[in-house]
Structure 1
Amino acid sequence: MVGGDSHKGQGEVLGSGKTNRRVQLTCRNKQTMATNNHCSFLRHSPLVSSPWRNKKPTPNPSRVRFSRPSAQYGREEPDPLLRAALTSAWIRDQESRRSDPLFIDTYAGGLLSSDECLHSTNVSELYRYRLATKFIDDRLQQLLSTSDQFRQIVLLSDGMDTRPYRLNWPRLSVLYNLSPDRVFALGTKRLQGIGAKTSRNCLLFNFPNDSRNLQETLCKNGFNGNQPSLWVLQGLPLPYLISFEELLLLISSLAMKGSIFFGELHIPSDWMISRTKEEWLENVFLRHGFRGTIVKYSEVAGNSELDPDTGFEASGSILFVAEQLRMSDGQMEVWRMHLERMEEEADEDGFEEL
């Protein structure tokens, strides 16, 4: 009886020990959850969010059409973003072979594969892309040659932009490429296969356009909001109106006052714009702190001694140039620190007078 009672007592003690450990573990879990909830405000929310990160961009029906869309990425189904980038490369390659080209891209052919048939059936879209590329190349070279301040260049591209390789960049230039990561990976692989290299005068960084926090990512890689910058848009997929609005918010936060944003914007019909494209774009720019102007395709054609066909102005694309009128977040931070220092000095002077 005594032995039985003693075993029973030991069992009760052991059981109570297990219960105590369970209680301790439960308390620790609750404390951990409380700590995580308390520190959740420290996590940075993404600046460029939902459309680029959570939703898969839908193919744009007004883009260049294909006679046989056979561009593929590995064994997967044809990617509309990849097809669009390869088609643009094909147009640049064809333009470079002309006797009187608007521009020369010696690397575009290296992006194409022999089993990809990318012949465009839309002559108007082909002509428009040639004019847009000419306009962007000329404006970029003009800004770089007339000012020694622009050494930060952000390329908002389709992933196969060869400007880092084919253009002459000033010394100490830093290029940031934002584009679809899968397209850029294939383009980089093919360019490396033909020995393409960037100039020794510049550094090139690439970031996926669906990165969680583009503002933080750019700043961690040396982007300085207290120095002027150029932002070049051509080919970056913006499937939704909010995508463009968030892009403007990103640039407005990072670009120093006086920075320039220019390029080609494609406006899908489902963006539901109530005004004309020109009025709408100028209003959007002003709302985000930019002074923007529209450049007509006919003007670019006339400057290139081509037939200024006004039919391009009725298309879904616009050429633009915009100047940043506000101070960047970096400039505002410097100004805030300056004001705090002035207040501290004023307090010290007042204390000495007393």
Structure 2
Amino acid sequence: MTHAVNLDAVGRTALVTAAMRAAETSRPDAIHRDPYAAALAGDLGQQLLAELLAAVSQAGPSDRPAGSMPGAAGAGSGRRAVNAIRTRFFDDYLRAAVTQDGLRQVVVVGAGMDSRAYRMRWPDAVRYFEVDQATVLDYKRECLAAESPLADHRWVPVDLAEPSWPEALEDAGFDPALPSAWLLEGLLFYLPEPAVHRVLGQVAELAAPGSRIAADLVNAAALTMPAQQAMLEVFASWGCPWLFGCDEPEKLFARHGFAADVVQPGEPGADFDRWPDPVPPRDLPGLYRVFLATGLRH
């Protein structure tokens, strides 16, 4: 029997994300609903989330960067708001992507505890690929053993550190000649910069013209600013420090062949009545920022 304790550091962060999704699902005004999140998070996910939120809450309002968290709700609630907005934003992205003629392949890279194959309705013939370490996918498969996916669901158990992961994806039935929708959620800031470019380059090679991509990133200041240190120290203590920040995500995706639109939580299209504070302009330095990017393959 596979247990969450067998997950590595990055795998365990997926349990934290699931715990946040479970908390959002329990709200009467939830902006997304994930009926599988609580089971996927398990007791360990709830414990890790409590540890993270306790550390974040120790940063007083004067220590938090303006615009980085909803001030009235507090730092812990703000972090959950980012996760809820991100989840809903990418739900909407995928729903829209598969309405495109001929786009029937969805690939989630670093899938973690993503349950969209089970909780969202999909058009006929959609193949939904989840790429992640075998231990992560085995744990999730066990948690969801009694459930049926709502798409042609394909597990791709391979570590992204393996250069051959695209071959494993093709072996699972992915066709690089056909357009596809890619999602890299909660992934890029855990990778060193060379690995970010390697993974995006591999995605670009697999993505036929007309394919789409979506990812979340943080800015460079998020890795160094004092107000973030309490949170960053928790991730580092778990063995999964944040390694990559980017101030110009549009240029990052353009380098790899995608024309990207980028929004921050709280801006039009990424608010969902959950982000009460004004969003500072992009040219205002020294603030923690989260970017939600969606792009089209040239």
Give the TM-score normalised by structure 1: 0.62
Q: What is the CA–CA distance in structure 1 between the aligned matches of 2:11 and 2:279, rounded to whole Å? A: 28
Q: 1:251 to 1:86 in 2, by over 3 A?
A: same
Q: Aligned pair 1:230/2:181, yes or no?
A: yes
Letter in 2 for 1:124: G
Q: What is the CA–CA distance in structure 1 between the aligned matches of 2:30 and 2:156, rounded to whole Å? A: 29
Larger Rg: 1
The residue number in structure 2 matching 1:318 is 291
Q: 1:202 to 1:302 in 2, by over 3 A?
A: closer
Displacement, 1:207?
A: 2.8
Asked if structure 2 preserves the Cα contact closer than 8 Å seen for 1:174 and 1:203, the reply is yes
Residue in structure 2 matching 1:290, options 258, 263, 266: 258
RMSD: 2.6
Q: 1:123 to 1:303 in 2, by over 3 A?
A: closer
Asked if structure 1 preserves the Cα contact closer than 8 Å seen for 2:262 and 2:293, the reply is yes
The residue number in structure 2 matching 1:14 is none
1:82-115 alpha-carbon deviations (Å, 9 max, x no partner): 3311111111111111111101100111113346
1:260-297 alpha-carbon deviations (Å, 9 max, x no partner): 10131245627687xx71xx322222222221121121
The residue number in structure 2 matching 1:137 is 91
The residue number in structure 2 matching 1:95 is 24
Q: What is the CA–CA distance in structure 2 between the aligned matches of 1:184 and 1:244, rounded to whole Å? A: 22
Q: What is the CA–CA distance in structure 2 between the aligned matches of 1:234 and 1:272, rounded to whole Å? A: 14
1:8-27 alpha-carbon deviations (Å, 9 max, x no partner): xxxxxxxxxxxxxxxxxxxx
The residue number in structure 2 matching 1:159 is 112
The residue number in structure 2 matching 1:220 is 171
Asked if structure 2 preserves the Cα contact closer than 8 Å seen for 1:299 and 1:308, the reply is no
Letter in 2 for 1:95: E
SS at match of 2:143: helix
SS at match of 1:73: helix
Asked if structure 2 preserves the Cα contact closer than 8 Å seen for 1:292 and 1:320, the reply is yes
Letter in 1 for 2:93: R
Q: Counterparts of 1:145-294 in structure 2 under 5 Å?
A: 146-192=99-145, 195-199=146-150, 201-208=151-158, 209-236=160-187, 238-266=190-218, 269=223, 277=247, 280-294=248-262
Q: 1:171 to 1:214 in 2, by over 3 A?
A: same
SS at match of 1:178: strand
Asked if structure 1 preserves the Cα contact closer than 8 Å seen for 2:85 and 2:270, the reply is no
Q: Aligned pair 1:128/2:82, yes or no?
A: yes
Asked if structure 1 preserves the Cα contact closer than 8 Å seen for 2:156 and 2:168, the reply is no
The residue number in structure 2 matching 1:15 is none
Q: What is the CA–CA distance in structure 1 between the aligned matches of 2:270 and 2:192, rounded to whole Å? A: 32
Asked if structure 1 preserves the Cα contact closer than 8 Å seen for 2:15 and 2:42, the reply is no
Q: What is the CA–CA distance in structure 2 between the aligned matches of 1:181 and 1:210, rounded to whole Å? A: 13
Asked if structure 2 preserves the Cα contact closer than 8 Å seen for 1:302 and 1:308, the reply is no
Q: 1:257 to 1:282 in 2, by over 3 A?
A: same
Q: What is the CA–CA distance in structure 1 between the aligned matches of 2:264 and 2:191, rounded to whole Å? A: 23
SS at match of 2:42: coil
SS at match of 1:183: helix
Q: Counterparts of 1:110-129 in structure 2 under 5 Å?
A: 110-114=39-43, 117=47, 118-119=49-50, 120-121=52-53, 122-129=76-83
The residue number in structure 2 matching 1:80 is 9
Which piece of structure 1 moves more, 304-313 or 89-98?
304-313
1:40-81 alpha-carbon deviations (Å, 9 max, x no partner): xxxxxxxxxxxxxxxxxxxxxxxxxxxxxxx9615xxx8422
Among all aligned residue pairs of Structure 1 and Structure 2, give the percentage whose two residues are the same amino acid.
Answer: 25
Asked if structure 2 preserves the Cα contact closer than 8 Å seen for 1:132 and 1:263, the reply is no
Q: What is the CA–CA distance in structure 2 between the aligned matches of 1:171 and 1:72, rounded to whole Å? A: 33
Displacement, 1:149?
A: 1.6
Q: What is the CA–CA distance in structure 2 between the aligned matches of 1:182 and 1:267, rounded to whole Å? A: 30
Q: 1:272 to 1:207 in 2, by over 3 A?
A: closer
Letter in 1 for 2:194: I
SS at match of 1:103: coil
Letter in 1 for 2:153: L
Asked if structure 2 preserves the Cα contact closer than 8 Å seen for 1:177 and 1:205, the reply is yes
Q: What is the CA–CA distance in structure 2 between the aligned matches of 1:250 and 1:197, rounded to whole Å? A: 30
Displacement, 1:308?
A: 4.1
Asked if structure 2 preserves the Cα contact closer than 8 Å seen for 1:233 and 1:263, the reply is yes
Structure of greater relative contact order (alpha carbons < 8 Å, 6+ residues apart):
2
Q: 1:265 to 1:196 in 2, by over 3 A?
A: farther
